[in-house]
């Protein structure tokens, strides 16, 4: 295959669902969930909500009815073993291990390139490994709509209807309805906008024209690569070179040579935003509840764990005693933890590090990580 | 020696200081200092103030200029090794090990009886092993006055001038001045009173007639035993039987046989209060600062440990990171502890148990101990 000129493909199957391939990028430490989440045990490897599944396992299970075994996973070399333990179904050829983190442009771009090499008519769907979604049926319905819309030649993002004026997410400005068979809620996207101020967020919420950008999108791999080539030709060339070698004995050698040279750029800048400006992006407003479990306040909110009096306790081994207290305890140890007369507390207990904060300060946990890094306490990060 | 009739002794030395023997009862778990202080590692074995000395070592060092090697220590069998590590100076004959706790009447009574058997003219001084006192020179001056006063035939308590209307201590109602050479501040004691209500405590403080009862007293052993015999004849007989065997090969056998049969009673009821009613008790009002380190708020107050921003950190191995927080961290581990945006917090980190509370709730820590005991988590108590 000539990697310099993308082929405009003619699909073998007329049903776009048959051409769907799920991509799960599993990266990101989840710094605001330290010390539970850390480099060696990132957020997606934890069961943060007491569901009985790790986030990555739940992500896979949510997609499996749509994708079957057609799931490609991108993660760090260091997480290979843990990920394979969580997802024994992943085929070796579909396990993309990064030798070093290169941001989402390279991670998702490589997935697109590998899938393109195998079948240029593939429609990929990329879904982060560390989100909590329910009910799954509504999510799956939205993905189906996104696949049908993608088949018309769109990069389709699945937006989330805002429940409050969040300043923590980017937004998608929704345009006119699109007429797509099998996708009654498809709309054009006017543009993506960055995390807003509180005032602007209130306006967005009031207008009804904006959805949260959850980083989920579904697109023909060929269209993804076309935009990547136009915007980041260096990254595109490198990824295509690795992809061409992927299903050959040269996979490791080429990856090890090329990957370190790739630029770091988010997929939003490399593909999604320029594609929106070109009129190539659509949105399916998701009608399900969604959370990126960004901090311990989110865990307190989402967890189905039992409450001991007014304290939510997450972690199987926890021996927690509470008296006149409220908040959340996340425990990764078998230690006894006693809370006496303390309100709105967040206690996160791991074998080598302990965090004590409040729900209101959950967003500031990163400060501890930065501070510990600055003074060299990197063994617990 | 006839144990049935106490000898009214004629001392060999005319200087009462030569007849002084220090007694250190080292008992009491310090439940309000859980999980740091616990059955296996009671309060007196900890350096709670960051002084560099455990409380028991500091107690010994405070007394040593007065007593030299004349120190008798009463503690639980289980603490033998730890106590000997702290106080290698203690002579084997002066290490009184309880096979089971029998309250202060038996502990201090046995000390009195053993010392009486060796020299009936001994003046004993009993000082709990878990108090913080400074400056030591003023304490020693008060003990000297107490010894001179005891030599006139009194049980002499060293009271503490109240600094606030505490409801946590018993009080001593002070009477008329006594004329004693070498003891210019000696007064009679009208009576001991129990822990008062807040209102009564305010009255006591305002009157100037009351001192806190710190449980420190100095007395001729013969006088101690005379009152014990009058008030608790069964206890007295048992203790004299053990004491008679103490410096013989039968020590262990007799102790093991008799000790378990002894009644549990506080020395206050067995000796001090009836002696006060009989007019046999005097008080030296102590002009030093004193604290029984009753809870973590006291530790926060007393500790000379460095502050990390506004958090006092006690414990050598502590790797504590704080941001916008106030309070105290007591650590017995080498774990990283991060506090983010939490005020007035008390965090006590030990290998198998963690306490999170506030200074204002320090007195309620006992509730955790009771609760854990009730549900069978006794391994950490």
What are the helix and strand counts (H, E) for chain A? 12, 18
Query: Scanning the structure block, which residue is given the tokens 């306790």?
Result: A313
Over chain B, what is the mean pLDDT? Answer: 93
Could you give the percent of chain B with pLDDT greater than 70?
97
Half-sphere exposure of B377 (CA within 13 A, CB side): 20
Record: contact A356-B340, CB cut-off 8 A? yes
Any idea where the domains of chain A sit in the sequence? 16-291, 306-380
Beta bridge partners of A172: A192, A211
Q: Which of residues 347-376 of B touch A (CB under 8 A)?
A: 347, 349, 351-358, 360-361, 364-365, 367-368, 371-372, 375
Is the confidence at residue A305, as pLDDT, over 70? yes
Give the model confidence (pLDDT) of A35-87 as tens digits: 999 888 899 999 888 888 999 999 999 999 999 999 999 999 999 999 999 99
Query: Residue B296, Cβ neighbours under 10 Å: how many?
Result: 29
Closest to B354 (Cβ–Cβ): which among A341, A349, A377? A349
Show the DSSP H helices in B19-67 as ranges: 55-67
Query: Taking CA atoms, what residue in B is nearest to A334?
Result: B352
Residue A381, preceding bond cis, omega within 30 degrees?
no
pLDDT digits (tens, 9 = 90+) for A108-124: 999 999 999 999 999 99
pLDDT for position A30:
82
- The Cα–Cα gap between B233 and B241 comes to 12
Domain A16-291: give its CATH code: 3.90.550.10
Which tokens in the block code for residue B107?
């502990």
Which of A34, A354, A358, A367 should be substituted to probe chain B, the one whose Cβ sees the most B Cβ atoms within 10 Å?
A354
Q: What pLDDT is recorded for position B67?
A: 97
Rg (CA), chain A: 21
Residue pLDDT, tens place only, B277-292: 999 999 999 989 999 8
Q: pLDDT grade, residue A93 (50/70/90)?
A: very high
Strands (E), chain A: 20-26, 71-76, 95-98, 123-126, 132-134, 155-160, 171-177, 187-193, 210-220, 281-286, 289-291, 307-308, 311-314, 319-323, 327-331, 336-340, 345-349, 353-358
Give the tens place of pLDDT for each residue, A193-224: 999 999 999 999 999 999 999 999 999 999 99
How many helices (H) and strands (E) would you count in chain B? Answer: 12, 18
Residue B184, φ and ψ in degrees, nearest 5: -65, -20
- Give the residue-averaged pLDDT of A8-32: 86
SS3 letters for B310-371? EEEEECCCCEEEEECCEEEEEECCCCEEEEECCCCEEEEECCCEEEEEEHHHHHHHHHHHHH
Mean pLDDT value across chain A: 93
Show the tokens assigned to A204: 């967005």
pLDDT band for position A8 (cuts 50, 70, 90): low
**Does residue A297 sit at the B interface (CB-CB below 8 Å)?**
no
Q: What is the ipTM of this complex?
A: 0.84
Nearest CB partner across the interface for B354, out of A337, A352, A372 = A337
Cα B200 to chain centroid, rounded: 25
Q: Cβ of A339 under 8 Å from any chain B Cβ?
A: yes
Do A228 and A267 form a contact (C-beta atoms < 8 A)? no
Bridge partner list, B38: B41
Contact B341 A364 (CB under 8 A): yes
pLDDT for position B4: 55
- Give the number of A-B residue pairs with CB atoms closer than 8 Å: 126
The answer to whether residue A89 neighbours chain B at the CB level (below 8 Å) is: no
Q: How far is the C-alpha of B191 from the C-alpha of A306, rounded, in Å?
A: 54
Residue of A38, A332, A341, A358 for testing the chain B interface, max B β-carbons within 10 Å: A341
* Residue contact B354–A367, C-beta within 8 A: no
| DSSP classification of residue B227 | H
H-helix segments, A179-281: 198-207, 221-231, 233-246, 251-258, 267, 273-277
Phi, psi angle pair for A109, to nearest 5° = -60, -40
- Asked if A36 is an interface residue toward chain B (Cβ–Cβ < 8 A), one would say no
Judge contact between A71 and A24, C-beta under 8 A.
yes
DSSP reduced 3-state for B283: strand
* Residue A4: per-residue pLDDT: 55
DSSP B41: B
Contact (CB, 8 A) for B218 and B143: yes
> Would you say A7 and A120 are in contact if contact means Cβ atoms under 8 Å apart?
yes
Taking 70 as the pLDDT cut, the residues of chain B under it are: 1-5, 7-9, 12
Residue A310's SS3 state is: coil
Q: Note whether B353 contacts A337, CB cutoff 8 Å.
A: yes
Cα gap B264→A260, rounded to integer Å: 76
Of A349, A352, A367, the CB nearest to B323: A367
Helix/strand/coil percent split, chain B, to 5: 40, 25, 35
Q: Check: CB of residue A328 under 8 Å from CB of residue A301.
A: no
Q: Which pLDDT value is given to residue B14?
A: 80
| DSSP H helices in B127-261 | 136-150, 198-207, 221-231, 233-246, 251-258
């Amino acid at each position: 295959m000539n990697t310099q000129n993308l082929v405009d493909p003619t699909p073998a199957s007329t049903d776009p669902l048959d051409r769907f391939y799920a991509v799960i990028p599993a990266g990101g430490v989840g710094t605001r969930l330290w010390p539970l989440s850390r480099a060696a045990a990132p957020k997606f490897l934890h069961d943060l909500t007491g569901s009985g599944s790790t986030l990555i396992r739940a992500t896979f299970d949510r997609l499996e009815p749509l994708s079957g075994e057609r799931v490609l996973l991108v993660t760090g070399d260091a997480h290979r073993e843990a990920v394979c333990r969580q997802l024994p179904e992943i085929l070796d050829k579909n396990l993309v291990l990064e030798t070093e983190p290169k941001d989402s442009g390279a991670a998702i771009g490589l997935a697109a390139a590998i899938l393109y090499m195998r079948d240029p008519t593939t429609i990929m769907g990329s879904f982060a490994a560390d989100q909590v979604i329910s009910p799954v049926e509504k999510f799956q319905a939205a993905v189906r709509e996104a696949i049908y819309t993608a088949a018309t030649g769109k990069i389709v993002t699945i937006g989330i209807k805002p429940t409050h004026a969040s300043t923590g997410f980017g937004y998608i400005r929704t345009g006119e309805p699109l007429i797509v068979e099998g996708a009654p809620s498809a709309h054009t996207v006017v543009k993506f906008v960055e995390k807003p101020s509180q005032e602007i967020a209130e306006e967005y919420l009031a207008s009804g024209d904006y959805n949260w950008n959850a980083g989920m999108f579904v697109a023909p791999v060929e269209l993804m690569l076309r935009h990547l080539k136009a915007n980041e030709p260096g990254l595109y060339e490198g990824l295509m070179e690795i992809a061409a070698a992927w299903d050959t004995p040269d996979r490791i050698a080429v990856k090890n040579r090329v990957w370190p040279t790739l630029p770091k750029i988010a997929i939003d800048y490399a593909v999604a935003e320029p594609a929106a400006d070109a009129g190539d992006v659509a949105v399916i407003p998701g009608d399900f509840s969604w959370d990126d479990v960004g901090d311990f306040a989110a865990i307190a909110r989402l967890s189905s764990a039992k409450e001991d009096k007014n304290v939510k306790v997450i972690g199987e081994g926890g021996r927690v005693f509470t008296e006149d207290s409220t908040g959340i305890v996340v425990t990764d140890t078998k230690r006894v933890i006693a809370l006496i007369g303390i309100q709105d507390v967040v206690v996160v207990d791991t074998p080598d590090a302990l965090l004590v904060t409040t729900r209101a300060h959950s967003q500031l946990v990163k400060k501890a990580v930065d501070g510990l890094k600055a003074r060299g306490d990197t063994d617990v990060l």
